[in-house]
Amino acid sequence: MKNSDYFTLANGVTIPAIGFGTWQIPSGEVAYNSVREALNAGYRHIDTAQAYGNEASVGEAILDSGIDRSEIFVTSKLPAEIKSYEKAVKHAALTMKNIGLNYIDLYLIHAPWPWSEIGADYTRENIEVWKAMEEFYESGKTRSIGISNFNVKDIDAILENCRIRPMVNQIKLHPGHSQEEITAHCRKNGILVEGYSPLATGRLLDNGEIARIAAKYGKSVAQLSIRYVMQKGALPLPKSVHPEYIRQNFDVSFEISDDDISRLDSLK
């Protein structure tokens, strides 16, 4: 990858501008082979989470790849349900045990609320958990820290009560769902936006309008959607278990016109 294929986080750490997502990839052979395939295809950024149950397989694939550890950027996440300082410390240690690496590159709070209580107010608990995140960062076990699925209010609660500011916010981002308010707020505060589910968990694959735009560029719907996220100034995290699609999703060195970006913005 070229230097232009990286973002630089607020603390100076560089992060490859496209990542390989592993959500819903089962642990064991499938996760291991998918990550190995992604690394062979040129990805140098792998995203996992304790909640995915595949941290061990991801770590094993990285160690077995033969690629120098310093060349691979690895993200994991504190489970959304963990909302106390003590439990956050324990689960960060568990991730390090699971993944089997000496350090990870980015550690995120997976969501501002437990998945069974989406939208609930856990402001006080998140502030407490963030103190554990800061200590984890200062320990050197992770090179950067951040948040995921945080809206403007949730972000501000952390910013107003932290010693170390979040460096990343990972949110759902795809054509028709550009989350302009959150992305603008993150940019203003020096927080890199990562976009997961750039294909809306596969829903965009049958979208005729996206297919027509993609055809203009000689690209697939997936490639267009991934490139869209990049041109919005965010870092896409495509996921696949199929070698052909894993490689195709990495081949996004083309430019979508401003008119077509506007069309993609306006999709419902």
Q: State the catalytic residues.
A: 52
CA 189 from centre of chain: 18
Distance of alpha carbon 79 from alpha carbon 98, whole angstroms: 14
3-state secondary structure of 267: coil
Q: 223-232 as b/e, with b when 16 or more CB fall inside 10 Å? A: bbbbbbbbbb
Alpha helices in the chain (DSSP H): 29-41, 55-64, 85-99, 123-138, 152-159, 180-188, 208-216, 221-231, 243-250, 258-265
Answer yes or no: are the C-beta atoms of 66 and 112 closer than 8 Å.
no
Answer yes or no: are the C-beta atoms of 232 and 178 closer than 8 Å.
yes
In the structure encoding, which two tokens stand for residue 39, read together? 């690394």
Sole residue written with tokens 């107003």: 160
DSSP line for 2-68: -GGGEEE-TTS-EEESS-EE-TTPPTTHHHHHHHHHHHHHT--EEE--GGGT-HHHHHHHHHHT-S-
Backbone angles phi, psi at 45, to 5 degrees: -145, 115
Distance of alpha carbon 251 from alpha carbon 253, whole angstroms: 6
